[in-house]
Amino acid sequence: MTNKIKFYRKSNSLSQSELAKKMGVSQKRISQLENSMPNSSTEPSLTEIIKLLTIFNCNFEDLFEFKRRNSEMPNGVLVKYKHRGPEHVDPDFTYLVYGDTGKRAVRLKNIVEIGTIVFFHTNIGGSDYITGYFEVEKILQKSNANDHKEIEELISDAKKDEFIIIGKRDGSKILTSPLLFDKNLALKLTSLDITEEYFDQSSSDLSKLTSKTREHRKLSSADTAALKQMCVGRG
């Protein structure tokens, strides 16, 4: 069970002392729980497990099988997009299609494969939000003559782009309640290589975050699993 409690504690922005207070135990006990091994003398009691599940709003399998799930989770990609108006809706969340052209297409091609989880984020009202994700089921390229017919038949503006990904219906999610992508979330995604010190006073947190995520960013399987978990219950 090592690190599962720690992961969920950090995902809920709780310190060890704050979690200890919510559970009615000592901070030392929280440290023991976060580092306990199955069948050890420090593993959580049934009462402690029930409290943890309530505080973290997760189920037993999430808390105790997280490591196994991480090993099966594919890598992810963060894609920043802008609203390009009614003449070019992309990503197309209705048909689960997204396309890119130029340098962005080259970058996406280098980090995406079948099964990759692609998270989309954009600026809404002056803040950045994760708005949905696709599990890539198909990749189409205009440079591939065999893909031309299928691209032309797409009911999506992405047909104008050079590199196109299509999402798997049962592996994709559109967030009706977008997830705020701010400094706190960014610090939890170790793949982004962002530290607390990076957010200094030279510019706003949003400006700093945009600088690090303007290009498509690859996420580890652990970060992908974490981000998917944060999207639970949002659509």
Q: For 101-147, what is each residue's pLDDT tens digit?
A: 999 999 999 999 999 999 999 999 999 999 999 999 999 999 999 99
pLDDT in tens, 163-219: 999 999 988 999 999 999 999 999 989 899 888 888 888 888 989 999 999 999 999
Q: Which two tokens stand for residue 90?
A: 């992309």
pLDDT, position 2: 47
CATH number of 4-71: 1.10.260.40
* CATH label, 75-230, candidates 3.40.50.300, 3.10.590.10, 3.10.20.310, 3.40.47.10: 3.10.590.10
| Cβ burial, residue 163 (10 Å; 0-12/13-18/19+) | buried
Residue range(s) occupied by CATH 1.10.260.40 in the chain: 4-71
- Provide the mean pLDDT of the chain: 87
> pTM surpassing 0.85?
no
Q: Model confidence at 85, in pLDDT bands (50, 70, 90)?
A: low
Helices (H), 57-158: 60-64, 66-72, 103-111, 148-152
Helix (H) / strand (E) element for 55: namely helix 46-56
Residue range(s) occupied by CATH 3.10.590.10 in the chain: 75-230
pLDDT, position 41: 72
- Centroid of chain to Cα 98: 17
Polymer length in residues for the chain: 235
Q: Which two tokens stand for residue 121?
A: 């984020």
